Every structure is written in C-alpha cells, then in structure tokens.
Amino acid sequence: MAHKKRPVILGAGMTGLAAGYASGLPVFEAEEWPGGICSSYYMRRGGSERLHRLPEDQEAYRFEIGGGHWIFGGDPLVLRLISALTPVKSYERRSAVYFPDKELFVPYPIQNHLRHLGQKVAAQVLEEIVEGQRARADVVTMADWLRATFGPTLCELFFEPFHELYTAGLYREIAPQDNYKTPIELSLVVRGAFEEVPSVGYNVKFVYPERGLNILAHKIAETCDIRYGRRVVRIEATSREVYFEDGTSLGYSELISTLPLNKVVKMTGLDIGEREDPATSVLVVNVGAARGPKCPSYHWVYVPTSRAGFHRVGFYSNVDSSFLPKSAQLRGDRVGIYVERCYREEMKPDAAHRAELCRQVIRELQDWGWIGDVEVVDLTWIDVAYTWSWPRSEWRKKAIAELSQKSIYSIGRYGGWRFQGIADSLKEGLSAGASIAERNP
C-alpha cells in the first residue's frame, strides 16, 4: 500500500526552522546542524575544528558561518518569540567607512557625516546632492542611481569603489535595490556637514542572543522534525519527488523551499523564459587575534579600497565580549573579526587562492594596526550570499509563480531572492508553516 504524500520543507535556515516550528512537518537540511548561514560555531586557539557547542571551559572564539548576523527590526510578536526561546541583549549600531590611505574613519552613513571629509569636499558633495535632488536623471542601473543620488564626488570617493567590491562589479549592470541601506534625507545631509546628527537606517538598533545565534537555531530545531545530511540534488515537479545526494528520494504533496531560487529552478528543470537574475558569492574569513593598537571600536566598517579586495570588516567582539574566549573577555586584548570578500557566483577560487587571500587579509589588517598575532583563522564559502536583479527583470516574479503552480513555494531571503533580516525570515516561515499545516490537518 502506497504511503500518502505529505508536505515537506527544504532547508533548516531561519525560515525553514520557523516553518517546521509552526507546522510540525519534516525539514530536510543538507548540513549536520540547524540555522544555515545564521548559525554560530566555536574554535579553540590554535585549533582547526569547528565546534557547534560551546566547550565546557568556554575557552573558544565564537564565530558565525556567514559573518555577523544581527536581529534588527521585526514584528514585536516575533521578537517576543525569540526572547522566549533564548535571552537577548540590545545594542545600538556603531559603524563607519574607513579610508586606509588616510587612516580616516567616517561614521555611517557617510552622506550624513560630510564634515569628516573636510570643508572643501563637504561643500562640493553637498552642492552635488542638492542638485541631484532637483534634477530628474535617467536611472536604469545601480550605478546610475548612485550618481543621481550622491553626485560624482562622493561616488568616486566611496560609493563606486565600494560597490565594485560589494557587487563584484555588477553594480554597473544590475537594477537599483535595497535603497534603504543608504538613506538620503536632505535635512540630515545638510546638518551633518556641520554638526553631529542622529543615527539612521534599518539597523540602528538590533538584538542578539546572549549565548549565540546557534542557541536560537538549536532551540527552534528542538521543536522540529529535522532530517540532517539530506542535500537535495533534483526535484521532479510532475511526479512530486525530491532526490537527495545520498541516493534516496521522497514523494511530497507540497514543498516549502527555502533554498536559493536559482538553484531550485535548475533542480526542477523549469524554463522560466527569462534571463536568470545574478547573485554574488562571499568568502567569509573569521579571525581570532590579539587586538592591535589601532583596532577600531566599531561594530562593522565598510572599506572602499583594500589590497585583498574585501569590502567589509566586522568586529564580533566589539558587539559583545562573549564572542571571545572566557579568559580574554575582561582583558580587552583580543578581538574576533569577520572579513567579507565578494565574487561572481560560481567563480569559487581554488584552495591555493583561498589560502593566499587569507594571508593577504591578515597581513593587511596587521598593517592597519587592527590585529596582532593571529590565534585562529577559518574560512567559509557562501555560494549565494547577495541576490540582485537585472533592470526590468521579471525572472524572480515568474520563477516564484511557476514554482507555486507546481506546489513548490519558494520563501525566505534566498528562496524569495530579496534581502531580509532574521526577524522577517522567521515571520515568513511561521506564516508559511501555519498556512500549510492548516491545509493539511
């Protein structure tokens, strides 16, 4: 007698975990731990093994798989759920732009702190921004939008070299998006050219679990039916069968997929009839080291130029000392760092290139005086890290619609091919899980 097919959830990142939590349905995860890229792990000084639980003596650096992921915004009820699962602490963002050649830090967002660039540059940028607000420039690409919004001086100084690194050169071709990450409010721009102004942006305040992001993932996972080590390689949408890397398969009635949208389209063999929207990959370099004499106190720093080609440096231990080994938490002489280096998707560098890049990153941070002797270093390749769209592209919309017609519902940050934070990912997963559970009592 054939078993009745049931709905299935793919991916135990934050969205998939929330869907499993709300529905009780099985969740299939490629890795051996929950949380996806939003999960912490631990490494001892001088060690090379990733530990997914804090060792008893607490003498380990805490890193995150995908670099720093902080919980910002979000529905109050979702934040209440997070706090009920694990205690959280609240923080106010400290971030800046760093110009290595001048050893100059400018608070973020740079357009609201022009006085740090000097009177002459501030006056020129201010004039260009005001003129841009009056003019109606044709905007097709992100490069167009940056020039029209911030003017040539600030673009040449920061936005263009930064986006060259951040998008792996795609900013000249892709459509403008995520404009809220670089807010432009003329009154604050003008005031900021002369005096201090309040922080703005979507992540001015954020929370983080006291014991690490992995604790939140594990707490949710404890309530779910998760099948680890089950990497999906093919989906037969007609017969409704999922095939796994280990050679097994499973029939389903409906799929909630949190896997990257482009990967699911390929695995189903669907022809969307549109050029696939691009993504960029990220190599995350996690470093535990002695704190250098010029190490900044910021939570993260945007870098428009670097010899090693990285665009952002984040400081776990500046957010909270609990990221450090227990014996170093009060001394303030150690630092936990993540560094992001972007690549075009499917252009993963080989092992030799990755090792050399790691050496370059460490040398550069040491030359800047941010770190001293390194105690531990670890790399993670994020295949689909940032998602983008071509101008006037309908690919995302059509792909999601065609998959849904075949009872495959693509959700989450990567399934939905859009930027969203942990809180919104949890909310979307809870909603999807509750909906599918209601249809399948």
What residue segments make up the domains of the chain, in order of their start? Answer: 6-34+224-274+393-439, 53-76+279-387, 110-192
Nearest CA to 272 out of 405, 374, 369 is that of 405
- Determine contact, residues 398/272, Cβ cutoff 8 Å: yes
372-398 pLDDT, tens digit per residue, is 999 999 999 999 999 999 999 999 999
184-217 pLDDT, tens digit per residue, is 888 999 999 999 998 888 888 999 999 899 999 9
C-alpha–C-alpha distance, residues 2 and 396, integer Å: 36
Looking only at the bridges linking them, the beta strands covering 249-257 and 61-64 are unpaired
Nearest CA to 440 out of 29, 6, 3, 32 is that of 6
98-128 pLDDT, tens digit per residue, is 999 999 999 999 999 999 999 999 999 999 9
- Is residue 1 pLDDT above 70, yes or no? no
pLDDT grade, residue 21 (50/70/90)?
Answer: very high
- Within 13 Å and on the Cβ side, how many CA atoms surround 210? 7
Q: Bigger pLDDT: 197 or 97?
A: 97
Instruction: Tell whether pTM > 0.85.
Output: yes
- CATH superfamily name and code, 6-34+224-274+393-439: FAD/NAD(P)-binding domain (3.50.50.60)
